Chain A
């Protein structure tokens, strides 16, 4: 109602203004406008293709020269025209997987904590907003915080581990300042709000009736969570983790500030390392020769394909969840009113059974 009033309350409508067929001029404008939206929509779809093609074109000299050996070589020496990104791929994968694993454990715990009535409702809302706020903090700020807070805080513990357990490859070097451990840790903290927010939504979307049914059958709260709630929201949770992984792979600034940007591949968590995105951030501004730039573009192409694959997978997981979810909600709301009654209840509970048993 208010919407209608707010659209054009000022204009005085004259007889003949409305309730007539559109004039020829209006029809022409209409046609032009529709074409304009079509062209701009097509253009924005074309952008994805354009990004891949333009980066590939710039990378072409390097692709021709180095071939697939580029991704398996470990040297990056612009002076000798030797380029390889295996250490960067290794660093990207290790930091992302460590970061996402940490973020997944803590993120899902936070999501459960925020949905299963551990704390009063108003506190849940406050914390939910704090999480949204944290997701909005720029990554360069997380990087600054990592340098001045995280590294001094974890250095004693890391060096203690190195002294006592140095024979384990993961602890085989001391943490001097920057390195893989602070980078992965800050990465986890950065992805945590994303994982927590999407998982929380997925868990909160589980029909309360199902939860009440489980409690009514005598399940303890955690038997309900592990046996009913989490299995029913698992697609949203997996989706949040895959999307978090996509973010971690492409995350640039925090890693460029924390990972050390050293072209080595060490099993130690405390050793400096490098990632694809950090390599681009550091080397791009000073790329001198044509081949130098080509090699960076090649690295950008590898990163682009890596994140595209991860994001397509995440998109497909989330899409299935949305399709199933909205169907369920329609059933419950009894949308059209046609399938009310026992039949509706029957299909509803059967679907839930299938979900739970899966």
Chain B
């Protein structure tokens, strides 16, 4: 199949009529270029599917093996001793919530103030840039080193393992997320709202507390929830700051405490079937807690974006 095409002369003398083979334009696998493209598509799809297998397996195992033991007894009883039947993870759930609370309070106070500083007080300055850079570096801090830090400061100082030490270790890991998301959401508040507030005679502090923070609240909460989700799942920093306990919390905060993450780690090495089953059930509960925090954060960030009008 051929066709004569007369190219339109643009400049200079008219070009020779060219013959174009229209079969060139057919989509045929016999052409090396098309074949190459086709093969790569197949290869890429295979790689993506292979990558999906372990990821699906993780979720499936969590639901199947963890779901088997998910009942009220699990949520309310103490961990079983070696070789015993039954038991639960009640004290570990309480411990996990307590230690996220301690870490959360510390990192929210420091993180929101530091984020406001970066977004409003010192937008372009050298100290602002340094704080931002350090916060980025902290996001990459290995979690075990946060534990080492809390050990050298709190555990060596107070002489005991405690939720306070665990909370300080976790706050070091939550802090950068909170700083960076607070900065971003405060910055995205429109300039006209700032100008209106200043024009009405508000000080910068009044503008921040009464205009910027309430407007940026959904975005800030998203960051906080994501940071809490990260903290809830951390194990390494708790191994030698919180350690573990087989009993309920006694009411004062300076004693070793149980947590879901450390319970999973301890029971994963156990030879007893009952403890292995509890480890899987605890994993499912932990993932559900993390998931609830993550999804809550995403729902809020969707709302925040809708409130701000223009999606970034």
A residues engaging B (CB < 8 A)?
2-4, 6-8, 18-22, 26-27, 29-30, 33-34, 36-38, 40-45, 47-48, 50-51, 54-55, 57-58, 105-107, 109-110, 112-114, 118, 130-134, 136-145, 147-150, 189, 192-193, 196, 220-223, 225, 243, 246-247, 249-253, 256-257, 277, 280-281, 284-285, 297, 300, 303-304, 307-308, 310-312, 314-315
Contacts and interface: CB of A to CB of B under 8 A. Distances in A.
A141 B45 CA distance: 28
A342 B36 CA distance: 37
Contacts of A149: 57, 61
A41 B140 contact: no
A148 B61 contact: yes
Contacts of A140: 233, 235, 261, 264-265, 268, 283, 286
Contact of B287 (A27, A48, A137, A284): A137
Nearest to A49: B134
Nearest to A134: B55
Interface in B193-220: 193, 200-206, 208, 210-211, 214-215
B234 interface: yes
A281 B41 CA distance: 43
Contact of B138 (A48, A141, A144): A48
B34 A220 contact: yes
B36 A222 contact: yes
A311 B137 contact: yes
A30 B206 contact: yes
Give the residue among A48, A58, A247 with the most B Cβ atoms within 10 A: A48
Contact of B116 (A37, A54, A247): A37
A250 B204 contact: no
Interface string B31-69: 001101100110111011011001101110110010000
Nearest to B146: A51
Contact of B290 (A106, A138, A192): A138
A138 B233 contact: yes
Interface in B95-111: 109-111
Contacts of A310: 140
Interchain residue pairs A-B with the least CB separation, the first 5: A250-B142, A138-B233, A311-B140, A109-B47, A252-B236
Main secondary structure of the interface of B (DSSP, over half): helix
Contact of A221 (B37, B131, B290): B37
A331 to B, nearest CB: 17
B175 A44 contact: yes
Contacts of B113: 36-37, 40-41
Given A141-B283, A142-B58, A47 B175 contact: yes
A250 B144 contact: yes
Given A42-B131, A284-B151, A55 B210 contact: no
B161 to A, nearest CB: 9
A3 B308 contact: yes
Main secondary structure of the interface of A (DSSP, over half): helix
A314 B140 contact: yes
Contacts of B235: 138-140, 252-253
B73 interface: no
B239 A281 contact: yes
B15 interface: no
B200 A18 contact: yes
B234 A55 contact: no
A303 B141 CA distance: 10
5 contacts: A30-B203, A51-B141, A132-B294, A136-B290, A148-B61
A78 to B, nearest CB: 16
A131 B57 CA distance: 13
A55 B290 contact: no
Contacts of B233: 136-141
Contact of A130 (B36, B55, B140, B240): B55
B55 A44 contact: no
B33 A223 contact: yes
Contacts of B135: 44-45
B138 A42 contact: no
B62 A136 contact: no
Contacts of A142: 58
B70 interface: no
A145 B51 contact: no
B117 A7 contact: no
B121 A22 contact: no
Nearest to B175: A44
A37 B55 CA distance: 42
